[in-house]
Amino acid sequence: MQVTSTLNSGGTMKQRLALLTTQKVSAKFSKDNMVLFGLLTFLFVVMTLFILMPLWAMMKKSVQNSAGEFVGLENFATYFATDSLWYSLSNTMTLGLIVTVVVGFLAFGYAYALTRSCMPLKGLFNLMGTAPILAPSLLPAISLIFLFGNQGVAKELLQGHSVYGLIGVSLGLIFWTFPHALMILTTSLRTSDARLYEAARALKTSPAKTFFTVTLPAAKYGLISTLIVVFTLVVCDFGVPKVIGGSYNVLATDIFKQVVGQQNFSMGAVTSILLLLPAVLAFTVDRWVQKKQKSMLDSRSVPYQPSPNKLRDSLCFAYCLLVSLAVLAVLGMAVYGSLVTFWPWNKALTLNNYNFAEMSTYGWSPYFNSLKLATWTAIIGSVVIFIGAYCIEKGRAFGPVRQAMQMMSVIPMAVPVGTGFGLHLLL
């Protein structure tokens, strides 16, 4: 009250500046901000213990030999001097670029059909497009073996090429990363202002020009984020290359071979560090996108509602139907393979494969352990992540802490969970 009355009553400029500064300081150290700061500090300590400390152990191991002696960058020099390891790095980059480009085009076309057409069965197509996100990355790899393997039911479609290698890994990762890209692009395309399209129609702009001058610019930052997410997921995935990669080595599988196969923790740490580079790239681009991106919707905006167009709707329906059938084929083949008695010699259908008590050494224990682990992870993880996201978003007065936490939050995404991050914890 005293500050407000002093400002209203008038005073010297120096007095006003001093009072405004006092007001800002008081606001910064208000009760709400102090609670936010306390929560941010607690979460920062937790993330430091479970992310930065294992990461530090990995970095320290990368400059040591097997005896724990400091050798500097000798391990990195050995890595890049080894033809097989350099081959894995080039394979990883090639795979990442191929899958990112293909998924970018496929997901954008699918999202465009869902948001810019009046085709029938939109709900079903949306369900089919996001269904692969519920499957582990191992599932498409196994399904592709049933389809295109040496005894596959449709191996002739590959024209004599082997599915074990770049072709199979690319197809499996395209299937697995497609729903991630679709959700981001669908959200991006839905945040469009109908007034821009009305202006384009009033100016008699052609549909093609409208697409390149209105639709694409509105979705370009969402598309950039999509490409970064897909590339990061691809270069860090372990399941698909391990199952169907054959002799096509990538960095994620190299970690497994170095640590489990050769007990070479130092070289495994070097490989893990190389996989951290996508995290740095993702964080940098994400910061840039957030600064550039402006919301397409405000209080006066009108949500875009597509009008019927027979030709466009028919083409969109055919495209979504084709993609959905491909998704259904992969999922359906996995279900069919799980019911076969003994592939490929005895294809009689049976439910004995689901009798874990007899078919597995450990019985039903792994299944229920997985459910228990998933349940506790979902509950605890969701609470911690929600609190962390809320504090990061609301605690804008604590910029350096927010930036540090945002950077740490993307690090686990850049390392294969089962091998890379497990290596961090072991070290």
Q: What's the domain count of the chain?
A: 1
Residue 284 has pLDDT above 60, yes or no: yes
Residue 238 inside a domain? The answer is: yes
The number of residues making up the chain comes to 427
Q: For the segment 23-56, what is each residue's pLDDT rounded down to a tens digit?
A: 555 555 567 777 787 888 888 888 888 777 877 8
The tokens for 355 are 């009798």
Residue 376 has pLDDT above 80, yes or no: yes
Residue 273, domain extent:
74-339
Read off the pLDDT band of 423 (50, 70, 90): low
Higher pLDDT, 54 or 382: 382
Summarize the confidence of residues 239-265 as an average pLDDT: 79
Residue 382 inside a domain? The answer is: no
Residue 97 inside a domain? The answer is: yes
Mean pLDDT for all residues in the chain: 79
Residue 416 inside a domain? The answer is: no
Q: Phi and psi dihedrals of 68, rounded to 5? A: 85, 10
Q: For the segment 159-213, what is each residue's pLDDT rounded down to a tens digit?
A: 888 899 999 999 999 999 999 999 999 988 887 767 777 787 787 777 778 787 8
Residue 331 inside a domain? The answer is: yes
Beta bridge partners of 349: 340
Higher pLDDT, 324 or 19: 324
Contact between residue 244 and residue 158 where contact means Cβ atoms under 8 Å apart: no
Q: Which residues neighbour 53 within 8 Å (Cβ) at sequence distance 6 or greater?
A: none
pTM of the model: 0.79
Summarize the confidence of residues 137-156 as an average pLDDT: 88
Q: For the segment 349-373, what is each residue's pLDDT rounded down to a tens digit?
A: 888 888 877 766 777 888 889 899 9
Residue 2 inside a domain? The answer is: no
Q: For the segment 297-330, what is each residue's pLDDT rounded down to a tens digit?
A: 555 666 677 888 899 899 999 999 999 999 999 9
Report how far residue 97's alpha carbon sits from residue 170's, in angstroms, rounded to the nearest whole number: 10
Residue 7 has pLDDT above 50, yes or no: no
What is the 3-state composition of the chain as percent helix, strand, coil, each rounded to the nearest 5? 75, 5, 20
SS3 136: coil
Residue 370 inside a domain? The answer is: no
Read off the pLDDT band of 341 (50, 70, 90): confident
Q: For the segment 389-407, what is each residue's pLDDT rounded down to a tens digit?
A: 888 777 666 767 777 777 7
Residue 296 inside a domain? The answer is: yes
Q: What is the pLDDT of residue 169?
A: 93
CATH assignment at residue 96 = 1.10.3720.10
Q: What is the pLDDT of residue 2?
A: 45
Stretch among 249-253, 289-293, 321-325 having the lowest mean pLDDT: 289-293
Q: Which residues neighbour 85 within 8 Å (Cβ) at sequence distance 6 or greater?
A: 79, 254, 267, 271
Residue 295 has pLDDT above 70, yes or no: no
Report how far residue 132's alpha carbon sits from residue 175's, in angstroms, rounded to the nearest whole number: 7
Stretch among 30-34, 243-247, 253-257, 341-345 having the lowest mean pLDDT: 30-34
Tokens 């991006």 belong to which residue?
188
Amino acid at 155: K
Stretch among 3-7, 62-66, 177-181, 230-234 having the lowest mean pLDDT: 3-7
